[in-house]
């Protein structure tokens, strides 16, 4: 859900498959980066999200590299863009994954489990034990660190009062000025939520697909977005006036003075856990260092800084929000726990069929 723009710390852009083949041929597990910390004999690559969500991972990674004589390289991007590249890299060479430590959402957690991508987190990553018990992963194949909440982002110039319902996305008053993410990024494009609100479920997305299809045929959508930067630009320009979006994405824009709002729909927000994974196929030395880095990322102090910069809810005990966030109802953990919950495993089981239907009945009419 964050921008996939290449930065001085990122390295992976267009030509993904060619790049992956090149990496495999060079025998360089974990990829490389034009930025990052240099030095040690062991090199690890960490995937993080963009914008303000890059600040803490890079800061912690650089400090870790300097203290441990390790080289840390960075990939900056989105789950929708980076996860398929990770899968492709393992298909090319299972012992040369694109990255060794990555920040992923619930859908990618489940997809990675299905593809046997994740290495169990060793007991030495003790800070994972501080994660809220409701969000502990029993087999330790990954660990959630923070919680975001999906609701509606909107242009304050277009709305005198905030929208109130998920179904406002399909109000003809906003025809041509609505956007969302393309398939198979169903964790972020609101299809599961719309399906559940209209009698469907993660195993029966047809009610949501029918609504999206009807809207697409009527010209409801401006198009699909590929990055949060694009969403921000379109909201500020007026090309788009409403979209499904995340509190943690919108809050920095709001803090920066954009005429953009975030609202929890009356039907409830969608809970969205996020965290880190160790990637199978990494060398023993890479896994050892990636685990140590992961432990640093999960300290209450680093989790608190990450959440306060990005408007997220901490899942790690002892990580405290700043007052201006802690006082808001939508930043309370119980508000998200009572929100619309997604069965990620079941959703992932139905992604292939849903993508086929989406491409035929929705995307074909954009």
- pLDDT tens digits along 305-364: 999 999 999 999 999 999 999 998 889 888 877 889 999 999 999 999 999 999 999 999
**Is 4's pLDDT higher than 90?**
no
CA distance 113 to 348: 10
**Is 50's pLDDT higher than 90?**
no
CA 112, chain centre distance (Å): 14
CA distance 139 to 312: 25
Per-residue pLDDT, 209? 98
- pLDDT tens digits along 65-80: 999 999 999 999 988 8
Contact yes or no for 207/196 (Cβ under 8 A):
no
Please give the domain boundaries of the chain with CATH numbers for all domains: 16-147+271-337 (3.40.190.10), 149-270+342-365 (3.40.190.10)
Residue 253's contacts (CB-CB under 8 Å, 6 or more residues apart) are 232, 260
Buried b (16+ CB within 10 A) or exposed e, 176-215: ebbbbbbbbbbbbbbbbbbbbbeebbbeebbbbbbbbbeb
Q: What is the pTM of this model?
A: 0.79
3-class secondary structure, 74: strand
CA distance 247 to 190: 14
């Amino acid at each position: 859900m964050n921008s996939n723009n290449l930065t001085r710390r990122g390295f992976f852009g267009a030509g993904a498959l060619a790049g992956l083949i090149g990496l495999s041929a060079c025998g360089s597990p974990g990829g490389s980066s034009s930025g990052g910390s240099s030095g040690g004999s062991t090199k690890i690559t960490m995937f993080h999200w963009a914008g303000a969500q890059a600040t803490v991972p890079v800061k912690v990674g650089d400090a870790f590299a300097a203290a441990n004589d390790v080289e840390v390289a960075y990939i900056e991007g989105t789950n929708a863009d980076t996860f398929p590249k990770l899968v492709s890299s393992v298909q090319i060479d299972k012992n040369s994954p694109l990255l060794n430590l990555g920040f992923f959402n619930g859908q990618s957690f489940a997809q990675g489990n299905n593809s046997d991508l994740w290495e169990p987190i060793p007991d030495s990553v003790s800070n994972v034990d501080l994660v809220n018990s409701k969000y502990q992963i029993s087999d330790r194949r990954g660990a959630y660190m923070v919680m975001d909440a999906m609701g509606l982002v909107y242009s304050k110039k277009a709305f005198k009062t905030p929208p109130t319902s998920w179904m406002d996305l399909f109000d003809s008053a906003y025809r041509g000025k609505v956007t969302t993410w393309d398939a198979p990024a169903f964790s972020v494009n609101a299809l599961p939520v719309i399906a559940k609100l209209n009698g469907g479920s993660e195993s029966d997305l047809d009610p949501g697909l029918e609504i999206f299809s009807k809207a697409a045929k009527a010209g409801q959508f401006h198009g699909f977005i590929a990055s949060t930067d694009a969403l921000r630009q379109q909201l500020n320009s007026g090309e788009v006036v409403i979209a499904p979006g995340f509190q943690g994405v919108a809050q920095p824009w709001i803090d920066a003075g954009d005429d953009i709002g975030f609202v929890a729909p009356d039907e409830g927000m969608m809970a969205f856990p996020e965290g880190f994974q160790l990637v199978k196929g990494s060398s023993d030395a890479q896994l050892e260092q990636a685990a140590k880095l992961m432990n640093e990322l999960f300290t209450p102090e680093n989790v608190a800084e990450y959440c306060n910069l990005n408007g997220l809810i901490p899942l790690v005990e002892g990580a405290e929000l700043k007052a201006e966030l802690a006082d808001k109802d939508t930043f309370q953990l119980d508000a998200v726990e009572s929100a619309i919950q997604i069965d990620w495993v079941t959703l992932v089981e139905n992604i292939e069929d849903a993508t086929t239907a989406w491409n035929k009945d929705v995307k074909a009419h954009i």
